[in-house]
């Protein structure tokens, strides 16, 4: 699969970028915090930051609000070197997402403000203005499919990217609070998966897509992987299983002392894609994604914790390969 990408690949990431507001210092409950520290957040923002930290070219396709929070996000994107040509700034009453969260493992509180979310107002005309032939890969997070007009725009983006010959990747990223129902989510996810080359999701998410149990979800993942797609089926502490036409393999997780539960999936996706672009095998890319996930949960923040290539190499040299 590494033949799809190379070190000169340009990535386009679709979906939510926002502000993370962390109770500080680590371990503090939000309601007892005397101070907070800000960081770029949102699944797509974090993935784009992770790819940029690998020195690769990446742009974001989304909307932000024309206010201080939206401008914070734009400034953070510039800080990480993420292209904003396809970020639309919206006037009116929509708002960029704000997450008030904590850096602790036990009973972590994460309060997300997403009323009239700006990113869900991304439109088809915004997508039609994108030169998809300039990109080797499109990465979509499932949050962008949760409501219209973003849903229709995201599906169109996937279609246009595929026609242009780009690798189309979706992280299911199912957030129940964002969807009217699990049944609607399953229908939309299935439509998106039809257009995707890579599908990444956990056992709960595949169960939703399958309208059934974990066993049904894993059966669906196996069936999808027997065709022309690569399916990465994540099992939490048990690692992950990859299904593809070339066969299947399992990868464990790296044991670390975690500070927080957030950011692992975004780090996994970013380093997976960056590793494929740097010509690593699929199996090695998944291993490196698992290493990045472990690194991010053991550090403060999500986007700021995304590893650079030297940091990732140092971690891998100091930690044995995990057993599945």
In a domain, 324, yes or no: no
Q: Is the pLDDT of residue 64 over 90?
A: yes
pLDDT band of residue 321 (cuts 50, 70, 90) is confident
How many distinct structural domains can be found in the chain?
A: 1
d(C-alpha 146, C-alpha 152), whole Å: 10
CA atoms within 13 A on the CB side of 232: 28
Mean pLDDT of 25-32: 95
In a domain, 156, yes or no: yes
Would you state the pLDDT for residue 2? 43
Mean pLDDT of 68-88: 98
Would you state the pLDDT for residue 8? 72
Helix (H) or strand (E) holding 22: strand 18-24
Q: Which residues pair with 140 in a beta bridge?
A: 14, 170
In a domain, 105, yes or no: yes
Q: Of 215, 281, 219, 214, which Cα lies nearest the Cα of 251?
A: 281
In a domain, 128, yes or no: yes
Mean pLDDT of 16-35: 96
Would you state the pLDDT for residue 4? 62
d(C-alpha 313, C-alpha 297), whole Å: 17
Q: Is the pLDDT of residue 287 over 90?
A: yes
Between 236 and 100, name the one with better pLDDT.
Answer: 100
Among 1-5, 212-216, 233-237, which is the least confidently predicted range?
A: 1-5
pLDDT band of residue 323 (cuts 50, 70, 90) is low
Q: What's this model's pTM, rounded to 2 decimal places?
A: 0.96
pLDDT band of residue 59 (cuts 50, 70, 90) is very high
Residue 217 sits in a domain of what CATH number?
A: 3.40.1190.20
Domain that holds residue 97: 2-318
Q: Is the pLDDT of residue 107 over 80?
A: yes
Mean pLDDT of 264-268: 97
In a domain, 323, yes or no: no
Would you state the pLDDT for residue 173? 96
In a domain, 170, yes or no: yes
In a domain, 21, yes or no: yes
In a domain, 55, yes or no: yes
d(C-alpha 137, C-alpha 140), whole Å: 10
């Amino acid at each position: 699969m590494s033949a799809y990408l190379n070190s000169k690949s340009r990535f386009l990431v679709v979906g939510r970028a926002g502000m993370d507001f962390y109770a500080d210092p680590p371990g503090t409950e939000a309601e007892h915090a005397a101070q907070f520290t800000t960081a770029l957040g949102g699944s797509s923002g974090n993935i784009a930051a992770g790819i940029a930290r690998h020195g690769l070219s990446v742009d974001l396709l989304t909307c932000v609000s024309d206010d201080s929070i939206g401008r914070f996000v734009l400034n953070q994107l510039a800080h990480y070197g993420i292209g904003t040509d396809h970020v639309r700034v919206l006037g009116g009453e929509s708002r960029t997402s704000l997450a008030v969260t904590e850096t602790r493992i036990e009973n972590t509180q994460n309060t997300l403000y997403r009323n009239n979310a700006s990113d869900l107002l991304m439109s088809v005309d915004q997508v039609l203005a994108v030169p998809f032939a300039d990109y080797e890969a499109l990465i979509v997070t499932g949050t962008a499919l949760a409501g219209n007009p973003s849903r229709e725009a995201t599906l169109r983006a996937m279609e246009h990217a595929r026609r242009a010959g780009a690798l189309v990747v979706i992280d299911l990223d199912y957030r129940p609070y964002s969807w009217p129902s699990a049944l609607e989510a399953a229908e939309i996810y299935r439509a998106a998966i039809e257009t995707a080359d890579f599908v990444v999701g956990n056992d709960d998410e595949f169960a939703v897509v399958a309208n059934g149990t974990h066993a049904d979800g894993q059966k669906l993942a196996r069936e999808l992987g027997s065709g022309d797609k690569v399916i990465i089926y994540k099992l939490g502490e048990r690692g992950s299983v990859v299904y593809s036409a070339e066969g299947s393999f399992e990868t464990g997780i790296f044991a670390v002392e975690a500070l927080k539960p957030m950011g692992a999936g975004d780090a996994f996706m970013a380093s997976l894609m960056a590793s494929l672009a740097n010509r690593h095998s699929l199996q090695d890319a998944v291993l490196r994604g698992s290493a990045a996930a472990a690194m991010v949960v053991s550090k403060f923040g999500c986007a700021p914790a995304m590893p650079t290539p030297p940091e990732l190499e140092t971690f891998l040299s100091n930690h044995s390969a995990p057993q599945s």
